[in-house]
Structure 1
């Protein structure tokens, strides 16, 4: 725990030092605020000493001191406001930088990380944990600086009045620090656990909201509630523990502070009595001043103990954010990576092996040669590796062994952008962003003309439903398609590919959400589009792949049969059983 905490603080400082100038200004204003705050008790003490006895009150002197007190109090308020403004600026600029870096890392993380971590947990780190970090950081800037300066300043002022009473104060103070440190060391792990469970809860809520139809369709509400209640109870216990132990700090330090205050009052009162007839007496005004300083001296310890508790929480949250920021990004393109040009569709897979988890083999020694214009259909039971082959072709994952080549070039030696721009993908899951229909279709070809846009939409049979929308192609849709039906969203994705017309196509259940009549028309459009283009078709409905030039039958990561539809049926093997099972009662 201590090691994690020590490692986190230098990382936080890396962001803070970008705003060194603002930090120095904040500290100067903090010093000015404290100096003026500490000067006020001296003026008040002097005013008290001008009240000697009934009839012996120096009203002109008191009036002059009150004017000074008013001016200094006003200046103190102004410098404190400027200090707080600077602290807010520093904090929220740091938070902006952290979020930008975290989101930037999200763009270059390998898919393996995103697949292994729930989106709700990542969301919790970037939003909730950063907010908690901001709260702790702001409190640290606002109270830690002023607290430390107040302690040092008060000590100097107290020493100038009486070193004896100052010694009593200083000897009792370490007790307060010991209590604060003792509790703070034990609360860090509790706040870190609280942050982790909060992320787990956010992930579950995000999953339930995104899949509410599935939950209700399978009557899984009770199980979901049980799962939520279990996490919620754990969060309640973690939060209660962390809050309870951290809340002990303030009362404990306040008790020590009260002992210090009582000691100062008693010692000071005795000094007032014993020095009454001395040449330099210890006056009531000085005692009043000292009591004020005793309060001001011990108050920062109280605040700092509260700040330390908040900082434990902030550092625990910061550690989770930095875990994300420091994750290993995807392997960048090689410095001498080539650009894929004039892609005809020649592709070869040579002795490829791959697995998501090292101890669970998936694809082993896969070999395939594809010629330009061929239609390659991939079929097989769920989990056999169909979608994994697509992930490897697009280089969303790198192969563990072997190589994949396009136009004779290993895809690891070409830029990802040129590789992926050579493919057009239509998947069962739709990819739409918040924006207009036009922007979503033109995502892969922003400079497309109006005529090209209309042709692609008509070819995808999306034009008719788009024209019925309130603003046609300029209709705004929300994230992931908003209120559009699943079929309409899929038509937009098909139109997007038809607009780009890349040399190679990947169709993974591309018409799964479309009605049968529209599907027949789109299959015709696909047939025209696939002419002369290398195409990979993944489908569970075997009726959609009968026209493929080559059908690859996969099982447990291996190609067990290969050929066209008629050849494979004649073999009466795995494909024939799979195909005939569609018609079995």
Structure 2
């Protein structure tokens, strides 16, 4: 995605720099061409014949260059992705004593990228040779045939010198088309890559209603099927209901699609078949923004952002008061985290919350979620990284919230929620796969 977005700068430079300069030069070349014609129509005819020949020769190189540029974009994107992935997980690499293995993986993608860059450079060299060959041909033919015309007294030596000087002003911009042609091949690739982003369907469709809930909502899935690819369904004709009054605890084996169910319930993924209903109305009838304001989702690995703890919490509700923040911290067992930090809520937590432990990140993410005060709450493994005391506080909070709103909890530990929770076994609901 980021590689595609960087293509905007390539297009901008082409439109504001390369194109404007060449267009102005070509416009003036027609004026110079008229002046050349007034000096010697026969010599001007040589230029008129050579210019299309040069452009045809450059056009032959174009498709090969465009093909290599496409391959190079894919190879560079693959190498950058692997580079980012490796450095992001450098601790894992070191823990496995696998530096040499991961270096080999990086070498493979770098070699592929460099090989394609070398092939592109060769095509640029070929294009340059064509440009130089035609430039020299201009000079040789003008001087050769011009000398013959001087000897025949058709033109004077001064006219030949003037013609040769003016011819450079005509051939220069036209020869500059070779460079423009090379840039244009790159722009074609950039345009296609940007098109992948710009032509993607927007989830914000005009005319959709705004979801407004005046009472606790009931969330329901009816015969929902969903898969990340057409040939592999993760959810198959699943029906379930999440109601206020008691927490709905969804359990099942690892890899059976519990987290996917949570994301579909939260409206993050549209189902391939069936429907998700909120108060008996299809979720697709409402704008995604209003749905997500009413249904808040906490993923299994919640994300924090660089900045202070306070800034992260206020992302959920920028108008939250100090009392509301304090209450959210208490209900997520996060008060002790803040007390241990010398700067409290104004502590910088680093990129992705790197200065915090996994359990601390999970509790602060839950506190941020509670500040949303959602009508429906969906949490994925909320106690997986917590100690027994913290897990007890979080469990108590979720049980209390479930009395006044629909709460769905994905977990491998249903026993911590006690007998009052409604347990749904995903494997039984979908049947054996």
Mapping 1:218-257, distance limit 5 Å: 218-257=96-135
SS at match of 1:444: coil
C-alpha contact 1:425 1:507 (8 A) present in aligned 2: yes
CA distance in structure 2 between the aligned counterparts of 1:431 and 1:269, rounded to whole angstroms: 77
CA distance in structure 1 between the aligned counterparts of 2:408 and 2:389, rounded to whole angstroms: 23
Is 1:417 the equivalent of 2:296?
no
Tell me: CA distance 1:329–1:214, structure 2 relative to 1, closer, same or farther (3 Å): farther
Aligned equivalent of 1:306, options 160, 171, 179: 179
Aligned equivalent of 1:447, options 303, 312, 319: 319
C-alpha contact 1:334 1:413 (8 A) present in aligned 2: no
Mapping 1:481-496, distance limit 5 Å: 481-496=353-368
TM-aligned CA deviation for residue 218 of structure 1: 4.0
Q: Under a length normalisation based on structure 1, what TM-score does the superposition of the two structures give? A: 0.68
Aligned equivalent of 2:196, options 323, 342, 350: 323
Is 1:480 the equivalent of 2:355?
no
User: Does 448-457 or 516-525 show the bigger shift?
Assistant: 516-525
Q: 1:501 — aligned with what?
A: 373
Is 1:389 the equivalent of 2:267?
no
Tell me: CA distance 1:293–1:498, structure 2 relative to 1, closer, same or farther (3 Å): same
Structure of higher CA gyration radius = 1
Q: 2:232 — aligned with what?
A: 360
Tell me: CA distance 1:509–1:480, structure 2 relative to 1, closer, same or farther (3 Å): same
TM-aligned CA deviation for residue 264 of structure 1: 1.7
Q: 2:159 — aligned with what?
A: 286
C-alpha contact 1:349 1:366 (8 A) present in aligned 2: yes
TM-aligned CA deviation for residue 181 of structure 1: 1.5
Is 1:460 the equivalent of 2:339?
no
Any stretches of 5+ residues in structure 2 without a counterpart?
A: none
SS at match of 2:220: strand
Deviations, residues 87-136 of structure 1 (Å, cap 9, x unaligned): xxxxxxxxxxxxxxxxxxxxxxxxxxxxxxxxxxx111112x33333444
C-alpha contact 1:553 1:559 (8 A) present in aligned 2: no
Q: 1:77 — aligned with what?
A: none
Aligned equivalent of 2:37, options 131, 156, 159: 159
Q: 1:195 — aligned with what?
A: 73
Tell me: CA distance 1:416–1:149, structure 2 relative to 1, closer, same or farther (3 Å): closer
TM-aligned CA deviation for residue 509 of structure 1: 1.3
Deviations, residues 204-245 of structure 1 (Å, cap 9, x unaligned): 222223333334344454443333222222212222112211
Q: 1:520 — aligned with what?
A: 392
Any stretches of 5+ residues in structure 1 without a counterpart?
A: 1-121, 276-280, 561-585
CA distance in structure 1 between the aligned counterparts of 2:164 and 2:428, rounded to whole angstroms: 81
Is 1:339 the equivalent of 2:339?
no
Q: 2:89 — aligned with what?
A: 211
C-alpha contact 1:143 1:307 (8 A) present in aligned 2: no
Q: Under a length normalisation based on structure 2, what TM-score does the superposition of the two structures give? A: 0.89
Is 1:371 the equivalent of 2:243?
yes
Q: 1:268 — aligned with what?
A: 146
User: Does 511-520 or 154-163 show the bigger shift?
Assistant: 511-520
Q: Does 1 or 2 have the higher relative contact order (CA < 8 Å, sep 6+)?
A: 2
Deviations, residues 295-334 of structure 1 (Å, cap 9, x unaligned): 222222321111101210121122111122112233x457
TM-aligned CA deviation for residue 515 of structure 1: 3.4
C-alpha contact 1:385 1:556 (8 A) present in aligned 2: no
CA distance in structure 2 between the aligned counterparts of 1:387 and 1:344, rounded to whole angstroms: 23
CA distance in structure 1 between the aligned counterparts of 2:107 and 2:420, rounded to whole angstroms: 51
CA RMSD, 1 decimal? 2.7
TM-aligned CA deviation for residue 261 of structure 1: 0.8
Deviations, residues 328-353 of structure 1 (Å, cap 9, x unaligned): 233x4572535231232433333333
Looking at secondary structure, tell me which structure has more helix per residue.
1
CA distance in structure 1 between the aligned counterparts of 2:430 and 2:214, rounded to whole angstroms: 31
TM-aligned CA deviation for residue 557 of structure 1: 6.9
C-alpha contact 1:362 1:557 (8 A) present in aligned 2: no
Q: 2:404 — aligned with what?
A: 532
CA distance in structure 2 between the aligned counterparts of 1:548 and 1:126, rounded to whole angstroms: 50
SS at match of 1:535: strand
TM-aligned CA deviation for residue 559 of structure 1: 5.8
C-alpha contact 1:362 1:556 (8 A) present in aligned 2: no
